[in-house]
Amino acid sequence: MKLLFVADPLENFKTYKDTTFSMMRETAARGHTLLACETRHMRWRRGEPVTASAREIVLTGDVHDWFRTVTEHAALPLRDTDGVLMRKDPPFDSEFFYATHLLEQAERDGARVVNKPSALRDHPEKLAIMEFPQFIGPTLVTRSEADIRAFHAEYRDIILKPLDGMGGMGIFRVGPDGLNLGSITETLNAGGTQTVMVQKYLTEITQGDKRVLVIGGKAVPFSLARIPQGSEIRGNLAVGGKGVAQPLSARDHEIAAGIGPVLAARGLLLAGLDVIGDSLTEINVTSPTGFQEISQQSGFDVAAMFVDALEAALP
């Protein structure tokens, strides 16, 4: 197959941990052709299919100069590939949103896109959990400072976070004393103009914020527990959390079995469920990661499972 990866600049990849690289390595090992572009390289001209200036690459096996460009395509119609993998990292900003529209038009042209562009738009990563109340802890989505104060009064120890944050950005904890609750609320809701998510603080975070990968509706048998270090309350690897692969718990399996098939039916071949203790906290669909850390520590080949599902989805 000829596969186009829509991703961040290849030159910036940290190949020792990058999930998109592990996907490329597995697809190349199976004889598939690799193409790559960035979202800024796509264009849609009146009366024409969506195209991209893309490059065909081969992997070199070198740690630093890990790829070599074979061919440059000035205007490759996305429909002329066998599959397009949307792997642009967050943030989910206006440009990401517009890119999903171009990719959706490419689907109308005849392209096959993973994850499905409309599903990316329909599942904002923090809000998406609200569809599954049986799996989440006490959670509130609001702009109202009064609502936030009432939630704090009820649960005493809470987490506040912006809906568009990533990598642990903008996450605050407010304990029973309510210290700085007003200031934090004003910062996050911008005076009542922006929506905030508020959740009960889950003490199980000390054992890790688990990333449960779901591929083709089925759970990878190991999660990546991202464990906060030192005085940090966040387990995100981007802020220094320690990643530890571990077998899924019975509750992890229950959550994945309840949500995975639903997401797969909507065109989300790959999703990352974030679980603290027994509670789902986020559903990541834009560019879920963790393949290499799980594979290196557990011996389970996550990339192989993914490419198996990809090949089945793109016959």
Please state which architecture CATH assigns to domain 138-201: 2-Layer Sandwich (3.30)
Helix (H) or strand (E) holding 275: strand 270-276
CB-based contact 252:272 (threshold 8 Å): no
Question: Is-catalytic flag, 17?
Answer: no
159: CB partners within 8 A, 6+ apart: 171, 172, 173, 198, 199, 200, 201, 233
Question: Is-catalytic flag, 274?
Answer: yes
pLDDT tens across the length of the chain (315 residues): 999 999 999 999 999 999 999 999 999 999 999 999 999 999 999 999 999 999 999 999 998 899 999 999 999 999 999 999 999 998 888 999 999 999 999 999 999 999 999 999 999 989 999 999 999 999 999 999 999 999 999 999 999 999 988 777 889 999 999 999 999 999 999 999 999 999 999 999 999 999 999 999 999 999 999 998 876 777 677 667 789 999 999 999 999 999 999 999 999 999 999 999 999 999 999 999 999 999 999 999 999 999 999 999 997
Which of 3.40.1190.20, 3.40.50.720, 3.40.50.20, 1.10.645.10 would CATH assign to domain 2-121?
3.40.50.20
Quote the DSSP letter at residue 89: P
In angstroms, the CA 288 to CA 286 distance is 6
Question: Domain ranges in the chain?
Answer: 2-121, 138-201, 204-313
Question: Is-catalytic flag, 211?
Answer: yes
Quote the pTM value: 0.94
In angstroms, the CA 21 to CA 277 distance is 30
Question: Is-catalytic flag, 226?
Answer: yes
Annotated catalytic residue, options 115, 189, 236, 284: 284
Question: Residue 246: is it exposed, middle or buried by C-beta count within 10 angstroms (0-12/13-18/19+)?
Answer: middle
Annotated catalytic residue, options 104, 209, 282, 293: 282
225: CB partners within 8 A, 6+ apart: 207, 208, 209, 210, 211, 235, 243, 244, 245, 246
Find out if CATH 3.40.50.920 is the number for domain 204-313: no
Annotated catalytic residue, options 116, 226, 252, 293: 226
